[in-house]
């Protein structure tokens, strides 16, 4: 399963995320307290089409850029709980309930691309 963010102002301008990335990103976004909790919850549902306005998109980008990226060097990943690792994602699917959290993470570069998308967008919808 994947998620696609579609720019409200430019046809064909999109940002894609796997469920593995998106779940971690949403937890990070929720902790930034830029978007309402109900908005973040709706963003977690595939194909719902929740709309994020231009101001919210830019505020989100600025919060990630200013508060998250400085903690996360290009060779690191952040898990949904905010913890950081230098271990690269080797593609292992963790099935044990005590380790499933390891399936969800984002890299510095992926978050930087999300920031760029949000700043360039005129707002977006999540599908």
- Helix, strand and coil percent figures for the chain, each rounded to 5: 45, 20, 35
> How far lies 36's CA from each of 44, 47, 75, 88, in Å?
13, 19, 31, 32
pTM here?
0.92
| pLDDT (average), residues 86-92 | 89
Q: What is the C-alpha separation between 124 and 13, in angstroms, rounded? A: 10
Task: Give the CA count within 13 Å in the CB-facing half-sphere of 56.
Answer: 16
Q: What is the pLDDT of residue 10?
A: 87
Q: For residue 48, what pLDDT is reported?
A: 87
Specify the length of the chain in residues.
127
Tens digit of pLDDT for each residue in 7-36?
A: 999 888 999 999 999 999 999 999 999 999
Residue 105 sits at φ, ψ, to 5 deg, of -160, 165
Minimum mean pLDDT range among 2-6, 88-92, 108-112, 119-123 = 88-92
pLDDT exceeds cutoff 80 at 1: no
- Is the pLDDT assigned to residue 6 strictly greater than 80? yes
Question: What average pLDDT is seen over the chain?
Answer: 95
Angstrom distance (rounded) from CA 115 to CA 59: 10
Percent of the chain with pLDDT over 70: 100
For 28-63, the pLDDT digits (tens) are 999 999 999 999 999 999 888 999 999 999 999 999
Structural domain that includes position 92: 2-126
**Tally of domains within the chain:** 1
Percent of residues, the chain, with pLDDT higher than 90: 84
């Amino acid at each position: 399963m994947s998620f696609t963010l579609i720019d409200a102002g430019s046809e064909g301008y999109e940002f894609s995320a796997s469920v593995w990335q998106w779940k971690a990103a949403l937890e990070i976004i929720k902790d930034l307290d830029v978007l309402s909790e109900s908005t973040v919850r709706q963003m977690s549902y595939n194909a719902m089409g929740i709309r994020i306005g231009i101001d919210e998109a830019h505020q989100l980008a600025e919060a990630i850029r200013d508060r998250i990226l400085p903690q996360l060097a290009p060779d690191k990943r952040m898990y949904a709980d905010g913890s950081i690792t230098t271990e690269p994602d080797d593609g292992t699917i963790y099935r044990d309930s005590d380790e499933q959290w390891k399936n969800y993470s984002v890299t510095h570069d992926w978050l930087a691309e999300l920031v760029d998308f949000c700043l360039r967008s005129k707002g977006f919808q999540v599908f």
